[in-house]
Structure 1
Amino acid sequence: MNAISIYSQFWRYTLPTVAAMLVNGLYQVIDGIFIGHYVGGEGLAAINMAWPVIGFLVGIGMMVGVGTGILVSIRQGENNIPDARQALTTGLSLLLILAPLLALALNRWADLFMQWQGAEGRVADLALEYLQIQVFSCLFTLGGVALPFLLRNDNSPNLATLLMVVGAVLNFVLDYLFIAWLNWELQGAAIATGLAQFVVTLIGVAYFFSSRTELYLSLHNWQIDVRRFPQVLSLGASSFFMYIYGSVMVALHNAMLIQYGTPILVGAYAVIGYIIMIYYLLAEGIANGMQPLASYNYGAQRHDNIVKLLKVAMGSAILIGVLFVLVMNTWPVQIVSVFNNSDAELIDGAVAGIRWHMFALFLDGLMVVAAAYYQSIGQSKKAMLITVSNMVVQFPFLMILPVFFDVIGVWLAYPVSNIVIAAMVLIMLWRDFRNPVSASDAIKSEMEAC
């Protein structure tokens, strides 16, 4: 396999994957636009209070989807189709087991979580309305995230993208119906998202029971190997912790913005969160487009191709991130106005957040791709180190900087920690590239341990 073909394959997977990730993110962004215009700043603050819980559920779905997909791709690279099929059915079964457990936990502790963040009054009521619907749609939240990953790993990236487009269009139509027309506020947003994810899950499962897939499933060949549960979770853990990192940081920022500012700043932070999500999804799409190819080439023992994939993926994510930051700082008011164009305090807060909170955003792309690289070749410990470091490093900055710089300190914690973590990641990659033999041995030993 020559350099041209591996780069061509990268873009063949990455472009539809990026499109799929952006379309998937439109679920939240569309909700935010409708909520900002039809419910207002309090609605945006409420959805941001609920987001850490939703992010946790999305992280679970991504962990199972990515972990299962990596395992399936590696087995396909080894030309072991029966084992790949068993890995797929084991991953799908794990989703069915986790969904009711997560729904019960959400039903029991959602109110306490709102109190911990400092949510009160109408903001708390709106957030709980949203989360109560998630209790009933938990399985579809997990499936709507995991199944597109599995379709891509089954060599159907375009179908995965089309599936997400169908879900996003349906979510848009239902948002208009439930929020703008029926005035169901955040409850309507949750119902719209749940129904859209139900459709995505249903079609995704039906695909694997059709003749289109090499891993054709039926009730007769459905096998569950519980011994693979830890392996699936381990391989996908980095993706999970990336979302946990985001969820925890959103919750902490919510609490700190209320402590050092006003509740409306939580709404401003929600707008910034939607903007950041767009870039994060671009970077995640690039990383996930790289993942099946890197995993396959690992199974085929083509480590030279893995290095080429890492370089093109990381360069693309950083370049897009730099352009993204420039655009955000050139037209901040116009971009914020997409979500709300009538609340001056909300707009001013969001513009200040863009200036202080997003200047090092492009470094997130470096970290997302690096974590996916280690994850895709089975070095889950290093992938985990990157994602856990995001939480460990940012937390002290978030606690200390506001003491000296007030609200600006809350905004600065994220970019300062990004700079520190990016330096650590570059050092780790440089050391691995200097010693490729030991790095290859580490890959083999970690996969054997799984």
Structure 2
Amino acid sequence: MSSQKEQSARLGSEPIPALLKRLSIPAIAGMLAMSVYNLVDTIFISYAVGIDGVAAVTLAFPLMIVMMAVAGALGMGGASVISRRLGAGKEKEADHVFSNMMMLVVLIGVIGVIGSYTLLNPVLQLFGAGDTVMAMAYSYIFPITMGTIFFTFAFTTNAVIRAEGNARFAMITMIIPSVLNIILDPVFIIWLNMGVQGAAIATVISQASVTFMVLKYFISGKSSLHIRPVLMLPVWRIIKEVSIVGMPAFARQVAGSVMMIVINAMLIRYGGEFYVGVFGVVQRIAMITLMPMMGILQGMQPIVGYNFGARQFGRMSEAIKLSLKVVTLFSFLVFGAAMVIPDWLMRVFTQDQAVIDAGVDALRIIFAVAFVIGIQVISGGLYQALGKARPALILSMARQVLFLIPLVLILAPVIGVWGVWIAFPAADILAVLLSLYFLRRDRKLFFPPDAQAKKEENLQEKHA
């Protein structure tokens, strides 16, 4: 067996605790690195430009979320299909899926460039900010959308590399652009005095840098997969399967974008642009605290997908249970940090006492039930790993669309900015209850009878 195939085959043979650790730790490290560069962007903008600069980036962020949603749908959908093909021993079909994904990456990149010149101004005008913040938002998002192909390629291939079990290289492809971005931020933002536009240019250059490294990885034969030009011709069956499985990831990200638009609009109406800046800081803190749980999910998904394809249900069930335990622990740590040291978290980004005071209140309210969010993280990603698009879509949409947005629209007119903050824990409670319902309803899918029988057999042997 070649080393490339061996790394995929380990998904079906290596002990689950060691395997989850080997896949999750690099994923966590890579995602934390990406979060750090987002934090550094915010810190430099906050200190060099001011809270208006943070508000401008926050205002533009929904458009960036849409771009990441498309890449996430393609990457997560394709990764799920590929991991199940590899688990079933269908390497040629996995190559076909991957080659079609690369064709879609190029197409999305072209659409991003066209959209940069035709859609940005009309869309930003709908968001309702003042002229100064609007101008800064445009100068930030234009370079980002021009570099759509780099973002799409990076997000898509990272998911695929993890799907074949090479978590270490997936981590490297996240850390390198993050470190480069941190180095370039002061150059463009401060030394070249480009402000928020400098932050965007640094980000695009950083993502472009990793493109060539990843291309070399696939072309040189280090991967289990191969880009075959003849297989890049679009095949509707493959595109449909990848799209259906990836739709929950797309819906979750787009829902996040709509949520941001609604929240920004309510904050501007009932508090002003100042609170959009405060929310921008709080959102960055939320992103970095969620990264460990997202890393566990990313480590779990290829294990679940591969073993489901290989019909090794006992291993699949063990991975799910262990992942749920670990994310629950992280959830309690996030809750503790938000309750005990919110002022310290805010001071990382700003020394403006008014921003700190408002942010401390927001953090404590938004994270009031953070100890249950791990269940949300695992449940939607679990269904996606198994290719169960409908429940994955429902759970992906639940928090933002079914619960959070309606609660914000109801509470903000009644109690203003505090209504926006209170909507978050209320939505979390409702989303967790829905997740628990689905997990209980489908427990035989996740913990099938043969897996339970194997567990009882192992217990009997242990006590014998």
Q: TM-score range by the shorter chain?
A: over 0.9
Q: Is the 8 A contact 2:112 2:148 kept in 1?
A: yes
Pair 1:18-2:50 in alignment: no
Instruction: Give, in whole Å, the separation in 2 of the partners of 1:239 and 1:284.
Output: 13
Instruction: Give, in whole Å, the separation in 2 of the partners of 1:411 and 1:439.
Output: 43
Q: Which residue of structure 2 lines up, in the alignment, with residue 358 of structure 1?
A: 367
Q: Which residue of structure 2 lines up, in the alignment, with residue 247 of structure 1?
A: 257
Pair 1:308-2:306 in alignment: no
The one of 413, 421, 426 equivalent to 1:411 is 421
Q: Which residue of structure 1 lines up, in the alignment, with residue 292 of structure 2?
A: 282
Length, aligned pairs only: 439
Matched position secondary structure for 1:183? coil
Counterpart code for 2:364: R
Residues 26/439 of structure 1: CA separation in 2 closer, same or farther (3 Å cut): farther
Q: Is the 8 A contact 2:313 2:447 kept in 1?
A: no
Residues 268/162 of structure 1: CA separation in 2 closer, same or farther (3 Å cut): same
Q: Which residue of structure 2 lines up, in the alignment, with residue 170 of structure 1?
A: 180
428-437 or 126-135, which deviates more: 428-437
Q: Which residue of structure 2 lines up, in the alignment, with residue 108 of structure 1?
A: 118
Q: How is 1:323-342 mapped onto 2 (pairs within 5 angstroms)?
A: 323-341=333-351
Counterpart code for 1:205: L
The one of 369, 374, 384 equivalent to 2:378 is 369
Q: Identify unmatched segments of 5+ residues in structure 2.
A: 1-10, 451-464
The one of 137, 141, 147 equivalent to 1:131 is 141
Residues 82/395 of structure 1: CA separation in 2 closer, same or farther (3 Å cut): same
Report how far residue 161 of structure 1 moved. Answer: 0.6
The one of 213, 229, 241 equivalent to 1:231 is 241
Q: Identify unmatched segments of 5+ residues in structure 1.
A: 441-450
CA shift digits 1:169-218 (9 cap, x unpaired): 10011111101211101110110000111112221122110121122335
Report how far residue 292 of structure 1 moved. Answer: 0.7
Report how far residue 40 of structure 1 moved. Answer: 1.0
Q: How is 1:16-95 mapped onto 2 (pairs within 5 angstroms)?
A: 16-95=26-105
Residues 329/180 of structure 1: CA separation in 2 closer, same or farther (3 Å cut): farther
Q: Is the 8 A contact 2:116 2:146 kept in 1?
A: no
Residues 324/316 of structure 1: CA separation in 2 closer, same or farther (3 Å cut): same
Residues 335/411 of structure 1: CA separation in 2 closer, same or farther (3 Å cut): same
Matched position secondary structure for 1:118? coil
Pair 1:432-2:450 in alignment: no
Q: Is the 8 A contact 1:402 1:410 kept in 2?
A: yes
Matched position secondary structure for 1:416? helix
Instruction: Give, in whole Å, the separation in 2 of the partners of 1:407 and 1:53.
Output: 23
Report how far residue 2 of structure 1 moved. Answer: 10
Q: Is the 8 A contact 2:103 2:232 kept in 1?
A: no
Instruction: Give, in whole Å, the separation in 2 of the partners of 1:85 and 1:36.
Output: 45
Instruction: Give, in whole Å, the separation in 2 of the partners of 1:113 and 1:241.
Output: 19
Q: Which residue of structure 2 lines up, in the alignment, with residue 210 of structure 1?
A: 220
Q: Which residue of structure 1 lines up, in the alignment, with residue 303 of structure 2?
A: 293
Instruction: Give, in whole Å, the separation in 1 of the partners of 2:168 and 2:77.
Output: 21
The one of 372, 378, 392 equivalent to 2:402 is 392
Instruction: Give, in whole Å, the separation in 2 of the partners of 1:417 and 1:170.
Output: 37
Q: Which residue of structure 2 lines up, in the alignment, with residue 443 of structure 1?
A: none
Q: Which residue of structure 2 lines up, in the alignment, with residue 445 of structure 1?
A: none
If the length of structure 1 is used for normalisation, what is the TM-score?
0.93
Instruction: Give, in whole Å, the separation in 1 of the partners of 2:90 and 2:40.
Output: 41
If the length of structure 2 is used for normalisation, what is the TM-score?
0.90
Report how far residue 106 of structure 1 moved. Answer: 4.3
Q: Which residue of structure 1 lines up, in the alignment, with residue 461 of structure 2?
A: none
Instruction: Give, in whole Å, the separation in 2 of the partners of 1:219 and 1:81.
Output: 16
Matched position secondary structure for 2:126? helix
CA shift digits 1:336-375 (9 cap, x unpaired): 111111x222222211111111212343321121011001
CA shift digits 1:217-271 (9 cap, x unpaired): 3546655423311211111121222211221111111111111112111110000
The one of 347, 351, 355 equivalent to 1:346 is 355
Q: Which residue of structure 2 lines up, in the alignment, with residue 382 of structure 1?
A: 391
Instruction: Give, in whole Å, the separation in 2 of the partners of 1:21 and 1:114.
Output: 28
Residues 362/55 of structure 1: CA separation in 2 closer, same or farther (3 Å cut): farther
Aligned-residue sequence identity (percent) comes to: 28
Counterpart code for 2:368: F
Pair 1:197-2:218 in alignment: no
